Amino acid sequence: MFHAVISRKLGPPLYAEFSVVHALLLALSRPLSILSGVITRVAVTGRSNGVDFKDTKDFCMKLGVILALAVGFGSAILSPFFKIFLKIDNILLFLPLAFTLFLLGLTAVWRGLFASIESFAIVSYSSITELFLRGVSGIILVFLGFKVFGALSGSAFGVVAAFCLLYSRRKQISRSYNERKREALSNSKFGSISAKVFFIAIPAGFFLELDLLLSKRFFSPHDAGIYAAAALIGKGLLIFTTVASAVVYPRLVEERLSKRGLLAFFWGIAITLIFFILGYAALKLIGKPVVSLLFGDKYVGVAELVPIYTMALIPLAVHLQIANYKGAIGGWAEGLWLWIILVGYYVSLEIFSSSIPSYLWVIFIFHLIFAPLSFFILYMRNKKTNTASVI
């Protein structure tokens, strides 16, 4: 509903500008999304090794505050560079972006702690609350005349509400943690665990947003707006599949490459494929009326582009599930591999950016080739260490 309203109100050029800055917000927030996974892995490992909850919580809070400050203030400092590189006209658009990133860092700590005890209900409620208030606030601010700045500012309102909701339920975490704490098995280094998860997961976040982030750089404002509208629907399916990632993540940390761990991983893959197959079929059948309802008559060509874009994302969606597995059990080698192929992905998009169809072929072929290689590297490095620490 949010995108349906603001895309009509802003028109393709301004909607393209919003989409690019919003894609940057999502890309820069990736370390904060990763932070939730880091907190989950640290808390699950600490609980399994008999570490006191206070020690675990203190480490998590310090890490969260440091990262929130670094990403929030860092994005504000780098805003002149972003403005030039992404061809954004108004530098003030980066103010709500920086503020939202800071708040997301604080919220991510609590989401990770709740995920570690598999309390997905409260995590879901916080996400629903955040998205609802993001949408409502953004729409109101756009209609008040704040245009792209208003659409972006709505994000901050949503994150504040999510943080308050999670913080109000924090006592539930310590109770569940202590109930499930086991006898000490070995000494865990939280700092090392955190560094490995960040190193692995940051490139995976850029896989998710890189094509949209670069669209205004390669295409005209109008074509970039059309691409952004198609990406909204295609990435919507992709975001739904990340729910499966979040649910299986604690199990992957505990079970590693055991039969139960592999079963959880393949469950995530199956959910991903089912979502995309059903989504593609629905878009082929009712894509035109859906696009017309969402975007109106200004976005000619979106209905034809969306099914193709959705198909192009399928190998990427599988690759992200594999990257989630890497984040749960992987080490430095897995992370280095993802950084190397991220560079290759960027270069490929640069080379084949002459048209939208060639751009989509790159997305499809690149991840179709490298997703199975990523899993092979993960499996071969960890098959003999199911129950041991990652080297």
Per-residue pLDDT tens for 258-313?
A: 788 788 788 888 888 888 888 888 888 887 887 777 777 777 678 888 888 888 99
Q: What's the mean pLDDT in 138-157?
A: 91
Q: The whole model's pTM is what?
A: 0.63
Confidence of residue 184 (pLDDT cuts 50, 70, 90): very low
- Per-residue pLDDT at 341 exceeds 70: yes
Amino acid identity, residue 269? I
Give the pLDDT of residue 342.
92
Confidence of residue 70 (pLDDT cuts 50, 70, 90): very high
Pick the more confident residue, 180 or 333.
333
Give the pLDDT of residue 390.
42
